[in-house]
A and B are shown apart, each in its own frame.
Chain A
Amino acid sequence: MTTATANGAKTLQVTDLDIYYGSFHAVKGVTMTMRPNKVTALIGSSGCGKSSFLRSLNRMHELIEGARVEGRVILDDQDIYAADVDAVMVRRQIGMVFQNPNPFPTMSIYDNVAAGLRLNSRKVKKNDLDDLVERSLRGANLWDEVKDRLDRPGSGLSGGQQQRLCIARAIAVEPEVLLMDEPCSALDPVATLAIEDLIGELKKNYTIVIVTHNMQQAARASDFTAFFNLENSGDPGQLVELDRTGKIFSNPENKATEDYVSGRFG
């Protein structure tokens, strides 16, 4: 399971993961594997801990005061919660796209894409940087729309374009895994379709984990689906079932999964 693929996508393996906010137990005992070059969708009702779980995969979760994690998250053969691992280095390997498009308002489109390198003051030649920006924007299916106005502010784009700009910014640092936290929930159906097509392209190079509230989206865009649920409100969220997306939506093992995907609750 831990073989790295030729293009750099890596396996993310989670073992017995518990997430706490202070004394509140948010997620309990999750063990699952996210395979390279596949899209894994996390579904479940609000408050079941799927966003917390996603944020714990690149240690964004610990930015919240009082938040802590128990268990192991292994990226290929590296434990990202090991004592000698810097959270900043983990985030360079595991990129993230957020629910609301958040381009840096002080930067142009070009600078937004180059931000990952510029902000870290990595020395890159102008030509190489130009290539990287073009490659990332092409990778995010945005190049043709913005190539004539790279020096304009990123916040002048439409919502869907801004979200693709954020995806370009995330892939410009060449991560191995891309986490997406409801990337389409603030977008209209056309922009959503563009992002979903893009996700299909991106999985050739990355391991993708996506949180979504939209079950059609999970069914359309993912290879594997994990269903999270909590038994009663106040209980920690748990992983109920992880399987191929086709099986989850047609013939799930678990009764709760079947109820959820068929729309009987949630």
Chain B
Amino acid sequence: MFAGVTAVVAGALLLIGFNIALLLLASVVLSGVAIYSWARVVEGRRKATDRAVTLAVASAFALALAPLVSLLFTVASRGLGRFDAQLFTETMRGVLGEGGGISHAIIGTLIITGVATAASVPIGIMAAIYLHEYGKGRLKRALTFFVDVMTGIPSIVAGLFAYALFVLFFGPGIRLGVMGSVALSLLMIPIVVRSTEEMLRIVPNHLREAAYALGVPKWRTIVKVVLPTSFAGIVSGVMIAVARIIGETAPLLITTGVFSSINTNPFDGRMQNLAVFAYNEYANPGVPNEPYIDRAWAAALTLLLIVMVLFLVARLISARYGVKTR
């Protein structure tokens, strides 16, 4: 049925100029109309409506998925050009034109994000525990409001704040890996707080009561019953927060700067990271520009793969330590 409609539409389109997107759209709409009218005659109104709505929902899903698949495909196909061993073993030190690698940027990304995560997760989880388990009244409402406001901070503002903070102590022009971590923490903490709070909210109250009834104090109930029960959800919340900040470019551009060698000390000097690297290669290429553009895509692909690996690890942790029913 669908194939038939597609063929007809393709024929019609050939007359006015071919376009793949238009072909798909027209085919789906026309076959939808055709299926509905046919089902209406053969099967009756209820079945026809069911088919039409099923088609509409499936199409909406495909429509939502299309940009994602397209993005993954583009990044993979263009990034694979420079996805070689040299990329992961070398740095950009002294490289002009072809060659060079991004090992310094990978290490920088992992360190900056790692420090930001190590700082944000305890603060975020403890804040969420306060808000959900202990907080009440005006203070709780005020804190919830400010967490919401923080969620909406533009990332460049977080970067400027971190920069201004460190300038107070070290003078203008300062660039440190840890400055980037501070900026990213500002973006990460509210996400961790909100997601953890949601997870604590779905821990049923009767589990807390069961622990209290055994003579377990409140703090032990939280540590040993509430947190383990919501562990899987908290881990995925943290992972979403990490994925949100690992690709941040703007705040890192002004806090960690640009650097072409490996720097593993976040408290000493500039530090490169993948997002800023990709941005710089793309925005300020040399002549000829192909090697620079290729490196930018390869860096983007590497970033994507790091996020995917992190999500896989989070899934494994959740499956290993989460709630089991059998």
Contact = CB atoms under 8 A, between A and B. Distances in A.
A60 B225 CA distance: 17
Interface residues of A, number: 33
A102 B205 CA distance: 10
B206 interface: yes
A140 interface: no
Given A153-B326, A156-B326, A169 B228 contact: no
Nearest to A59: B212
B50 interface: no
Contacts of A116: 214-216
B212 A91 contact: yes
A187 B199 CA distance: 29
Given A91-B215, A104-B229, A119 B220 contact: yes
Contacts of A63: 209, 212
Contact of B214 (A90, A105, A119, A156): A119
Contacts of A51: none
Interface string B7-24: 000000000000000000
Interface stretch (A76-84, A92-100, A216-224, A241-249): A92-100
A102 B210 contact: yes
B211 A98 contact: no
A153 B214 contact: no
B138 interface: no
Contacts of A250: none
Contacts of B142: none
A96 B213 contact: yes
B224 interface: yes
Interface residues of B, number: 24
A173 interface: yes
The SS class assigned to the B binding surface is helix
A105 B207 contact: yes
B215 to A, nearest CB: 3
A170 B213 contact: yes
Interface string B228-253: 11010000000000000000000000
Contacts of A58: 213
A174 to B, nearest CB: 11
A65 interface: yes
Nearest to A58: B213
Contacts of A75: none
Interface in B66-89: none
B217 interface: yes
Contacts of B323: 105-106, 153, 155
B284 interface: no
B229 A88 contact: no
A106 B229 contact: yes
Contacts of A27: none
B325 A60 contact: no
B213 A91 contact: yes
A166 interface: yes
Contact of B210 (A92, A104, A155): A104
Contacts of B207: 102, 104-105
B46 interface: no
B214 A169 contact: yes
Interface in A56-79: 58, 60, 63, 65
Interface string B102-133: 00000000000000000000000000000000
Interface in B169-228: 204, 206-207, 209-217, 220-221, 224-225, 228
A120 interface: yes
Nearest to A121: B220
A261 interface: no
B136 interface: yes
B204 A156 contact: no
Which of B136, B213, B217, B231 lies at the interface centre, i.e. has the most chain A CB atoms within 10 A of its CB? B213
A212 to B, nearest CB: 18
Interface string A21-58: 00000000000000000000000000000000000001
A93 B215 CA distance: 8
B320 interface: no
B247 to A, nearest CB: 33
A211 to B, nearest CB: 14
A155 B214 contact: no
Given A104-B225, A104-B229, A88 B215 contact: yes
Given A88-B215, A104-B210, A119-B220, 4 more contacts: A60-B209, A120-B215, A120-B220, A156-B325
Interface of B: 136, 204, 206-207, 209-217, 220-221, 224-225, 228-229, 231, 323-326
In order of increasing CB-CB distance, the 10 nearest A-B pairs are: A92-B215, A96-B213, A116-B214, A91-B215, A106-B228, A102-B206, A119-B216, A105-B323, A102-B210, A153-B324
